[in-house]
Amino acid sequence: MVQKAERVNAPQLSGRTSAARQGRPVGNVTRGTTNPNRMRRVDRWLTGPQAWRLRSAADPLVIDLGYGATPTTAVELHQRLATVRPDVRVCGIEIEPERVRAALPLQRPGLTFHVGGFELPVPGRPVLVRAFNVLRQYEEADVQGIWRLVQDRLAPDGIFIDGTCDEIGRRVTWVTLDRHRPLSLSISIRFGSFDLPSDAAERLPKALIHRNVPGEPVHAFMQAMDRAWLGSAPLASFGNRQRWVGMCRNLRDAGLPVQDGPARWRLGELTVDWEAVAPLHQGP
């Protein structure tokens, strides 16, 4: 069960808060639930279509924001990104000091741990910020301000990944933002773990999960996925991988702005432009 959402200390679109100005971490302590290999799907995407950002970065600074009760996902992130950029610097940030103290023995060159929150209390501008299962525990009204707070810290080609997944990383979704706006929604699902693609809706990020209702674009997109999946049933004899690829092709042929191609689709992954799922009425 997801912890009841709490109000963060009113992040403003200016990117500053009273807590940040006073030197206190911005945010609330999360449940901290984590598991090994839980982030493998988003990490595979970061080392795939998004690897160019890390390769071209003047400063290969990456932040794992709110890594949880144990630093497993931060350690794995460092290992995976180092295959793309050996000099990558991953900073794990947690608002709970005891979690940081427990992680310190695992520090190594290129991997450090710090107490902090959405203000990102490390020098430099990160090229990647990953926050998974963090914003889901806040109010929807706070999301825009939290996004802006992190976006204001990004490097010129940097991105912020706001995502949610199940306990073992079989159903994963994330929103990708650059310094100025949301760019896309990605869905990555393990074959055999769902009946319909819309089963991923229960793991939508906070900005979208309450918008999965008739009349909202994300709901229409989820329904379109289901129709395209059912329409690709004849491909099931070749396996779910081919059926998923057929679904993605059908969505693109229907005019939806589906990104990438079969190489990504075969992984059970689908990325669509943000404009196709953006809430109709967002806050300022």
Distance CA 157, CA 84 (A): 16
Tell me the H-state helices in the chain.
18-21, 40-46, 51-56, 72-81, 97-103, 140-151, 206-209, 217-231, 240-253, 262-265
Average pLDDT estimate for 219-225: 98
In a domain, 250, yes or no: no
pLDDT at 27 over 80: no
In a domain, 234, yes or no: no
pLDDT at 195 over 80: yes
Q: What pLDDT does residue 91 have?
A: 98
Where does the pLDDT of residue 14 fall: very low under 50, low under 70, confident under 90, or very high at 90 and above? Answer: very low
CA torsion angle 186 214 241 48 (round to 10): -10
Average pLDDT estimate for 14-41: 67
In a domain, 146, yes or no: yes
Where does the pLDDT of residue 234 fall: very low under 50, low under 70, confident under 90, or very high at 90 and above? Answer: very high
In a domain, 88, yes or no: yes
Average pLDDT estimate for 209-217: 96
In a domain, 272, yes or no: no
In a domain, 162, yes or no: yes
In a domain, 236, yes or no: no
Host domain of residue 171: 18-207
Q: How many CA atoms lie within 13 A of 75 on its CB side?
A: 14
In a domain, 74, yes or no: yes
Average pLDDT estimate for 178-186: 98
User: What's 139's domain CATH number?
Assistant: 3.40.50.150
Q: What is the domain count for the chain?
A: 1
Where does the pLDDT of residue 31 fall: very low under 50, low under 70, confident under 90, or very high at 90 and above? Answer: low
Where does the pLDDT of residue 29 fall: very low under 50, low under 70, confident under 90, or very high at 90 and above? Answer: confident
